């Protein structure tokens, strides 16, 4: 392909660091997709937001300091573009049958179909999340939060661009068709839904949103990290850069949940009670309800890792298309020919932990890494509860709780990990997952606050603002 740079060329209609101007055909193809993308953004992106000036960061280079560029932008004018991490000309494939061979700069013919499928699945989640969050701006708790929502939305839009670039540049006509389809499927659409389950669920309120950015964006982190190991070098480099954008999304989730729980602690102190009615009466979300939202979003996100035992995943690994988390740091043969991995399975109605060929268990291994990482934020939230003298502790439910994909789909498992009957599940479901009443209560708190320095009563203000600005800075200007 053409010469590539770490600096991004913003003089182009499509900003890029892949030398797009040197490939007229590809440039024209992407320029003809661009208006469809803008139309999609206007139809299904953040509701009634096109005239707002938003304090956004835009990458100016893929170097470490390339993110330090902030300014007011109208979202439809955001410079969505194509940014790949710097190339490593000697890069070798680290795992699978092709271990040690030079990374591919083009798509190997025999892996065309699975590679396209991985890219399409990844690409499909990005616009899906923007669609899911479409109406949240209408009920933002503060300008700071509104700005973060919009920042994440534009970056998910850019992640879509990242995958569309790969489809256009490397997959010819069917790649172009897939790129169109990415704008035609819609979250929750009865006829043309998004590909993965979690991306068809609504994100109706800000508590759900923080949970989504904590738990579901974290699946994004792990999937992107696995794809960043790919032997297909353009995919690897695209994902490496996407990962730098992902960190902020998870930060918004983690601090968002922290701030909701902190406010709950403050209200419990004000009303001198931990009782649900008293806490809700004080205008905060009771801790039990926050736990139910954790249970829901964690379990839905665990489904995104696929089956515990997966031949798809084994094929992706063997073929060098999708690796493990931080593959280069793992101390083994990177081929997994004879190794085993402990996998939780349901057998005869019981949960067992059994060694299985590691190759077929790579999905579950990634899920293991994800669970460890998810626990870190939970520990930090609990540290805050402790500091407020509150005894309650948040927990992650058992990995088989409320699962719809994998070995435990269809088995009722409590958050503690006990298999129970349908009758018991139905009787206790409402203790573990948000009930309609819980959702209505959370929904009733969602009122729009857009005055600088003001914040909704159910959430504490952030510790600091964006880019050294105070948290009460006017991050969004309505026109
Ligand atoms: N929903 O062998 P298995 C993000 C299907 S999030 C529906 O385990 P595989 C983001 C599966 O397709 C990251 N279907 O499958 C976050 C397969 O279908 P077929 C997104 C599901 O392929 C927030 C069958 O079940 N990126 O970036 O090994 C905001 C057998 O399953 C689901 C990726 O996912 C499900 N949850 O694993 C914005 C990376 N799970 O073959 C963005 C790309 C499985 O029977 N995707 N199935 O027709 C992949 O690597 C894989 O497709 C999966 C599934 C890990 C998702």
Tens of pLDDT, residues 411-468: 999 999 999 999 999 999 999 999 999 999 999 999 999 999 999 999 999 999 999 9
Task: Please indicate whether residue 299, judged by its CB atom, sits closer than 6 Å to ligand 1.
Answer: no
| Residue 9 bridge partners (DSSP) | 16
pLDDT above 60 for 298: yes
pLDDT at residue number 1: 40
* Average pLDDT of the residues in 25-30: 95
pLDDT at 404 over 80: yes
pLDDT over 90 (residue 146): yes
Q: Give per-residue pLDDT as tens, 299-352.
A: 999 999 999 999 999 999 999 999 999 999 999 999 999 999 999 999 999 999
Q: Find the angle CA(240)-CA(243)-CA(248) to the nearest 5 degrees.
A: 155
CB 136 within 8 A of CB 156: no
pLDDT in tens, 220-259: 999 999 999 999 999 999 999 999 889 999 999 999 999 9
Of all protein residues, the one whose alpha carbon is nearest to atom 54 of ligand 1 is 306
Burial 338-369 (b: 16+ CB within 10 A, else e): eeebebbbbeeeebeeeeeebbbbbbbbbbbb
Dump pLDDT digits (tens) for 391-400: 999 999 999 9
Minimum CA distance residue for ligand 1 atom 11: 306
Distance CA 379, CA 207 (A): 18
CATH superfamily of 20-477: Ribonucleotide Reductase, subunit A (1.10.620.20)
Answer whether 312 contacts ligand 1 (Cβ < 6 A). yes
C-alpha 315 to ligand 1 mean position (Å): 14
* Averaged pLDDT of the chain: 95
Residue (of 35, 47, 42) closest to 180 by Cα position: 35
The domain ranges of the chain are: 20-477
Is ligand 1 within 6 A of the CB of residue 315?
no
Residue 5 confidence (pLDDT) above 70: no
pLDDT tens per residue across span 314-324: 999 999 999 99
Q: How far apart are CA 333 and CA 409, in angstroms?
A: 33
- The per-residue pLDDT for range 85-127, each reduced to its tens digit, is 988 999 999 999 999 999 999 999 999 999 999 999 999 999 9
pLDDT tens-digit series, residues 51-93: 999 999 988 877 877 777 899 999 999 999 999 998 899 999 9
User: 308 CB less than 6 Å from ligand 1?
Assistant: no
The pLDDT of residue 2: 40
- 157: closest CA among 169, 167, 149, 146? 149
- Are 398 and 413 in contact by the 8 Å Cβ rule? The answer is yes
Is the model's pTM score more than 0.85? yes
Nearest CA to ligand 1 atom 37: 306
Residue 203 confidence class, pLDDT cut points 50, 70, 90: very high
């Amino acid at each position: 392909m053409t010469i590539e740079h770490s600096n991004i060329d913003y003089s182009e209609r499509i900003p890029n660091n892949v030398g797009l101007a040197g490939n007229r055909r590809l440039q024209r193809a992407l320029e003809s997709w661009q208006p469809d993308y803008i139309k999609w953004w206007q139809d299904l992106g953040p509701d009634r937001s096109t005239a707002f000036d938003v304090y956004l960061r835009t990458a100016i280079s893929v170097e470490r300091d390339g993110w330090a560029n902030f300014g007011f932008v109208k979202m439809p004018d955001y410079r969505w573009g194509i940014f790949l991490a710097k190339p490593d000309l000697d890069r070798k494939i680290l795992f699978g049958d092709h271990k040690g061979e030079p990374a591919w700069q083009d798509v190997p013919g025999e892996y065309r179909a699975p590679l396209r499928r991985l890219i399409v699945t990844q690409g499909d989640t990005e616009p899906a999340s923007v669609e899911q969050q479409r109406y949240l701006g209408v009920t933002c708790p503060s300008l700071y939060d509104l700005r973060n929502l919009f920042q994440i939305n534009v970056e998910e839009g850019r992640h879509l661009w990242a995958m569309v670039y790969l489809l256009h540049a490397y997959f010819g006509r069917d790649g172009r068709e897939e790129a169109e389809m990415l704008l035609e499927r819609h979250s929750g659409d009865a006829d043309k839904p998004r590909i993965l389950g979690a991306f068809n669920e609504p994100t109706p309120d800000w508590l759900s949103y923080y949970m989504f950015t904590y738990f579901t964006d974290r699946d994004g982190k792990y999937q992107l990290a696995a794809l960043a190991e790919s032997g297909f070098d353009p995919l690897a480099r695209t994902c490496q850069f996407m990962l730098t954008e992902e960190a902020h999304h998870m930060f918004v989730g983690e601090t968002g949940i922290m701030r909701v729980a902190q406010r709950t602690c403050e209200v419990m102190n004000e009303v001198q009670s931990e009782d649900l009615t008293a806490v809700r009466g004080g205008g905060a979300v009771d801790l039990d309800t926050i736990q139910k939202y954790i249970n829901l979003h964690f379990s839905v996100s665990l489904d995104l890792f696929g089956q515990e035992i997966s031949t798809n995943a084994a094929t992706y690994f063997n073929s060098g298309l999708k690796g493990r988390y931080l593959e280069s740091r793992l101390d083994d043969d990177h081929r997994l020919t004879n190794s085993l991995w402990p996998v939780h399975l349901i057998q005869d109605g019981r949960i067992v932990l059994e060694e299985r060929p590691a190759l077929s268990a790579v999905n579950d291994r990634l899920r293991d890494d994800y669970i460890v990482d998810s626990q870190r934020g939970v520990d930090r939230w609990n540290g805050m509860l402790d500091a407020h003298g509150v005894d309650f502790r948040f927990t992650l439910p058992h990995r088989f709780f409320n699962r719809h994909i994998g070995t435990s789909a269809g088995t009722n498992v409590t958050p503690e990990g006990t298999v129970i009957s349908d009758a018991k599940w139905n009787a206790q479901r409402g203790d573990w997952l948000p009930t309609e009443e819980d959702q209505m209560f959370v929904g009733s708190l969602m009122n729009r606050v857009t005055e600088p320095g003001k914040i909704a009563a159910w959430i504490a203000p952030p510790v600091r603002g964006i880019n050294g600005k105070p948290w009460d800075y006017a991050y969004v200007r309505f026109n």
